[in-house]
Chain A
Amino acid sequence: FAYFYGKPRWIRQAPVKLTYAFSKSNMIDYISLKDTRTVFKRAFSRWAQVIPVSFMEIEDYPSADIRIGFYHRDHGDGKPFDGVLGVLAHAFSPENGRFHLDASETWALDLETIKSSVAVDLESVATHEIGHVLGLAHSAVKDAVMYPSLRPRTKKVDLQIDDVYGVQALYGSNPNFRFSSLLASENSLNKG
């Protein structure tokens, strides 16, 4: 695992509570806001299970800690998106909170129901970018959620040991978290 330069993290009184909100004007129209919220709630909860940090969605975008939007090409942050595939999304290191996804992609909630060869799993990318929002950089471990590349039509949402070690070194461990549960899932992954 790796960190951003200077190892930035969210500095809050414990228990750390971070808010998130969706842009009112920069979302995608072929996935309902309800479904988008469900996907992101699941993605945030994966990280909340391993560290003592909670995430709460709020309505007011400007005041949220984490601000999520879908954008085409140049969207004003000096890192323009590039159309179909290529760069899928990016997020900023703590405590910036900006979280941008490329609106040119074919975002999928369920890869079984979408035929496109360029479909990208929204939950996988959301889970990865939340790692950046928390302070993790890219990992060299191919199975890790924080590995930089994601093949189209691929789902990768389960945090691996590398992801958990990295984020717990920043925020500590969620008291209810057991590594055994993670090892069990990794073993099943390896068997697969």
Chain B
Amino acid sequence: RISPDSSSTVITVDSYNTTTWHDFTRFLDAEKGSRVSGMSELKKYFNRFGYLPLPDTDNLTDVFDTQLESVVLAYQTNLGLPATGKLDSDTISMIVLPRCGVSDTKTHDTRFQATKR
């Protein structure tokens, strides 16, 4: 939020936003093809909720690649958000919200698998 009486930009951080996933706000509007430090953590987030089934998450890169773009699209569809494929404010605002631990889509883990009707 830019306060009217000062030249500096005042960033308002909700006090609860100092917890899990708050760091993801720095990916806001990251461009496809860009490399942003820590984006591998965002990929781990998507892996956790069933969007990026991987044998392990040790070799994830910090690049906003085509795979991540399609993951973002799937997430936006599952969460009823505008399907832009971009890390726009609607999407980032939803990612940082607390949530249920059950995954949103099919995973290889039968206990948490889900499919849309």
Chain A residues with Cβ below 8 Å from B77 are: 140
B115 at the interface (CB under 8 A from A): yes
Task: For B80, list chain A residues within 8 Å (CB).
Answer: 140-142, 147
Contact assessment for A86 and B21 in the assembled complex, using a CB-CB cutoff below 8 Å:
yes
Asked whether A5 lies within 8 Å of B115 as measured between CB atoms, the reply is yes
B102 and A83 within 8 A (CB): no
B78-117 contacts to A, CB under 8 A, are 78-80, 94, 97-102, 104, 106, 109-117
Contacts of A118 in B (CB 8 A): 15-16, 19
Please tell me the number of chain B residues within 8 Å of chain A, measured between CB atoms.
29
CA distance A150 to B20 in the complex (A): 14
Q: Are A138 and B100 in contact, with the CB atoms below 8 A?
A: yes
* 10 additional A-B residue pairs with CB within 8 Å, beyond A4-B115, A6-B110, A149-B100: A5-B106, A5-B115, A84-B19, A85-B19, A89-B101, A93-B111, A140-B80, A147-B80, A148-B102, A149-B99
Q: Which B residues from 1 to 46 make CB contacts under 8 A with A?
A: 14-16, 19-21
> Are A138 and B104 in contact, CB atoms less than 8 angstroms apart?
yes
A84 CB to nearest B CB, Å: 5
Which A positions have Cβ atoms within 8 angstroms of B?
A: 1-7, 78-79, 81-93, 96, 117-118, 120, 125, 128-129, 132, 137-138, 140-142, 147-152, 166, 169
B114 touches A137 (CB 8 A): yes
A88 touches B101 (CB 8 A): yes
Please report whether the interface of chain B is mostly helix, strand, loop or mixed according to DSSP: loop
- State the Cβ distance, A159 to closest chain B Cβ, in Å: 16
Q: Which residues of B contact A138 (CB under 8 A)?
A: 78, 100, 102, 104, 114
Residue from the list A82, A86, A117, A149 in contact with B14, Cβ < 8 A: A117
A106 nearest CB across to chain B (Å): 10
Residues of B within 8 A of A84 (CB): 19-20
Known interface pairs A2-B114, A92-B111, A137-B115; A85-B106 also in contact (CB < 8 Å): no
| A2–B113 CB distance below 8 A | no
Which of B19, B111, B114 contacts A83 (CB under 8 A)? B19
Residue of B with least CB distance to A93: B111
- A90–B101 touching, CB < 8 Å: yes
A-chain residues with CB within 8 Å of residue B16 when the two chains form the complex: 85, 117-118, 152
- 10 A/B residue pairs, CB under 8 Å, sorted by A: A4-B113, A79-B112, A86-B98, A86-B99, A91-B102, A118-B15, A137-B104, A140-B77, A142-B80, A166-B117
Shortest Cβ gap from B29 to chain A (Å) = 21
Q: Smallest distance from the beta carbon of B62 to chain A beta carbons, Å? A: 21
Q: State how many angstroms separate the Cβ of B114 from the closest Cβ of chain A.
A: 3
Report yes or no: A83 in contact with B20, Cβ–Cβ below 8 A. yes
Please state if A140 and B99 are interface contacts (CB–CB under 8 Å): no
Task: State A8–B39 Cα separation when bound (angstroms).
Answer: 35
Q: Considering the chains assembled together, what is the distance between the CA atoms of A141 and B80 in angstroms? A: 6
